A and B are shown apart, each in its own frame.
Chain A
Amino acid sequence: MVVPGRDQRFPSEDAKIWFERMRDKGWTCPEFPTEYGGGGLDTAQAKALREEMLKLRCRAPLTDIGIAMLGPALLEFGDEAQKAEHIPKIVRGEIRWCQGYSEPGAGSDLASLQCRAEDKGDHYLVNGTKIWTSFATEADWMFCLVRTDPEVPKHDGISFLLIDMETPGVTVTPIQLISGDSEFCQVFFEDVEVPAENLVHGANKGWTVAKGLLKHERKMIAELSQDFIGGTLTLRQAAADYLGDNAEGKLKEPGLRAAITRHEMNMRAIGLTAHRSHLEGLAGQSDARIPMIMKYVSTTEFQAKDELMAELLGYRGLGWDDVYFDEEELKSSRSLLFNKSLTIAGGTNEVQLNIIAKRALNLPSH
């Protein structure tokens, strides 16, 4: 996987060539406008490109939340100078972005965030902290939600601010997780001066930007494929390798066979629903309720797969070091632990269900 950054590194020379060729066509961001370096493709063309790449088993030339989340939000809400400054760098992979949303006291209740940005005329003075920021140690810039007005109702005093992580007063501490990973970080701001032109969509209008961007985030999490986080071992193969088949070539264990089938059916249903939603969009019949369910159903099913894999592998799915366990086995145990974040990050499943109840079913608030 190629990620962007000021000091970009490549896993191989091939990955570098592939990235550079795609970048030069703007196909790191096929649907971004050409004036900002993007590919300028329409939805159908971009889909054709994705399908061709899939057929040829090509990796995405560049993977980043700048592409998946900030870019689309800036195109929608940013002013001309912001777009001209930041989007070409996203397309070319020159800047790695991180997201400053959650705080220790503002998780599911994101709008109660307290990180303060005081208007000092030509700049904002930022004090406070952000937590669960993925890859903050690696990131060059952060897009972040800050409180610019503490006197008004909570949603009305939030702004969307872009902060250079090299600004004096910014410090980053990685958080160690149960999986042993530490990609999530806490970021501290102490009298950080951020130029006023880095505020997107006007003061106290950050919640609108945040909501627009959250949709992209949820879509991205829903679309994460298992081999992005987990291994390439399928449940069927694992069952054959670790438990064995009976004389008829069926899984020995009927209970697991039923559980695997249930999972495979759910994955097929989720895949068909994603495809249906896409086709409905092309036919001009988009159903806005579908994206609301996708993160909920897919993250739940990813976790179900991890649990099944652990059951199939037994002790070999519980390994920690690489002395005794092979790479696929370790991926399985790490993904069981790391993927617990999928139903929490980007809006917990409970928040997703609240959204479905409210917006899809029109059920009243308590």
Chain B
Amino acid sequence: MALVLTEDQQILKEAAKGFIADTAPASEFRKLRDAGEGHNAELWQQMAELGWSAVAVPEAYDGLEFGITGLGLIAIEAGRHLVASPLLTTAAIGVSALVLGDSEEIRQRILPTVATGQTLVALAIDENNHHDPLYTSMSAKPVESGGYVLDGNKVFVAEGNYADYYVVVARENGDSSGDFVLLLVDANAAGLRKTTVKLMDSRDYANLEFSGVVVPEADVLAKGEAAEAVVQNIADVATVMAACELYGCAQQTFEHTIQYLTEREQFGQVIGSFQALQHRAAHAFAQLQLLKSVILDALDAAENSRADLAIAASHSKALANDTAQLITNEAIQMHGGIGLTDELDIGLYFKRVRVLRNTFGNTSYHRRRFARLSGY
């Protein structure tokens, strides 16, 4: 029953809800932002102790093998409270890249410390302002001893300033007809330069410049058609995870707004009694319910590697983008002037949603993809 949580999933969800509400509410993120930090190592260690870094890691590598749906449920709760952590980048996306890749040696070497939360892996995929997982001009030049030399740029890498490894997509010789390669790159490799970029969501991202970075044969995750398939698959998992976080952001913003509608008085009554606002709130609620179904379906598709994963993933992100946009816009409008102040959390959600909407594909990208996959 994919659209209804199992008992174990329900327990995990409740645990995540409780821990995040107690330990990492939005006020903690605000403190982090005010301190100019983009990462809370101590919080991630606590999350790792709860096993969250190991949820998607197979048991063979000391993981919990609990499945992507479990991670998605945590991502939703993290979205509700604006938790800044490597949950998506490492626990979901990084782990997927290692699991789906062809190298058993890398899995044995890296996954056990990923499971404990010690090792962070970030996906370095985008090279432009818009997401397009299969576009790359990054050159991977094969060397005789095996392995590659990397030249090129990756931009807006989430958790890129804290990661120990990057999963990098490139093409042999940087040629658009060259074979795809998927590589694991040590963050401290010679020839790799990082620049920190701040986006409006007060998290920091890294732009990476690769100048003759040597990647040994042992760090090749996949090559050729296999690499292309893995990239698509990772992108789909990442897409669903981003949709989960957006759903959490949208839910929380919606609940804040409904609460405000029942408190704020104008013309001698609470503004939530006005039909113009009630109808917009009811419409938003309906959209949230539709989104919930689509997200649960996409998580199931990812967890079970369903044949229609790409369609389900694109659907979930397009709808999450639209719904979170609608709800954060309505939240500010219904709050009025106070919604524009930094004092309220509404703006923090608004800004996070704007970044997430662009992460792993905006609405038009996913609508186009959905159309293509549906045959039109």
A positions within 8 Å CB-CB of B: 236, 239-240, 245, 249-251, 257-258, 260-262, 264-266, 268-270, 272-273, 275-276, 279-280, 282-283, 285, 289-290, 293, 296-297, 350, 352-354, 356-358, 360-366
Contact = CB atoms under 8 A, between A and B. Distances in A.
Nearest to A278: B3
Most buried by A among B269, B285, B375: B285
> Across chains A and B, which 8 residue pairs bring their CB atoms closest together, nearest first?
A357-B278, A356-B282, A276-B3, A272-B293, A269-B290, A293-B286, A273-B293, A353-B282
B16 interface: no
A261 B286 CA distance: 19
A364 B289 contact: no
Contacts of B261: 363
A354 B315 contact: no
A266 B318 CA distance: 11
B219 to A, nearest CB: 37
B2 to A, nearest CB: 8
Contacts of B372: 250
B311 to A, nearest CB: 8
Interface stretch (B169-177, B235-243, B363-371): B363-371
Contacts of B103: none
Contact of A361 (B3, B4, B285, B293): B285
Contacts of B273: 363-366
Nearest to A272: B293
Interface residues of B, number: 39
A265 B318 CA distance: 9
21 contacts: A251-B371, A251-B376, A261-B376, A269-B290, A269-B293, A269-B319, A272-B3, A272-B293, A272-B294, A273-B290, A273-B293, A276-B4, A276-B296, A279-B3, A280-B3, A289-B285, A289-B289, A293-B285, A352-B282, A361-B278, A363-B278
B281 A261 contact: no
Contacts of A260: 371, 376
B129 to A, nearest CB: 20
B282 A360 contact: yes
B293 A236 contact: no
B293 A276 contact: yes
Most buried by B among A240, A245, A269, A296: A269
B22 to A, nearest CB: 25
Nearest to B372: A250
Given A265-B370, A357-B278, A258 B286 contact: no
A105 to B, nearest CB: 21
A210 B118 CA distance: 62
Given A236-B376, A283-B4, 15 more contacts: A236-B375, A261-B374, A265-B315, A265-B370, A266-B290, A272-B294, A272-B296, A273-B290, A276-B4, A280-B4, A293-B290, A296-B282, A352-B282, A354-B278, A357-B282
Majority SS of interface residues in chain B? Answer: helix
A240 B374 CA distance: 14
A268 B315 contact: yes
A222 to B, nearest CB: 12
B285 A366 contact: no
A364 B367 CA distance: 38
Contacts of A363: 258, 261-262, 272-273, 278, 281
B297 A272 contact: yes
Contact of A290 (B4, B278, B289, B319): B289
Interface in B226-281: 258, 261-262, 269-270, 272-275, 278-279, 281
Contacts of B35: none
Nearest to A284: B4
A258 B371 CA distance: 8
Nearest to B371: A261
A265 B294 CA distance: 10
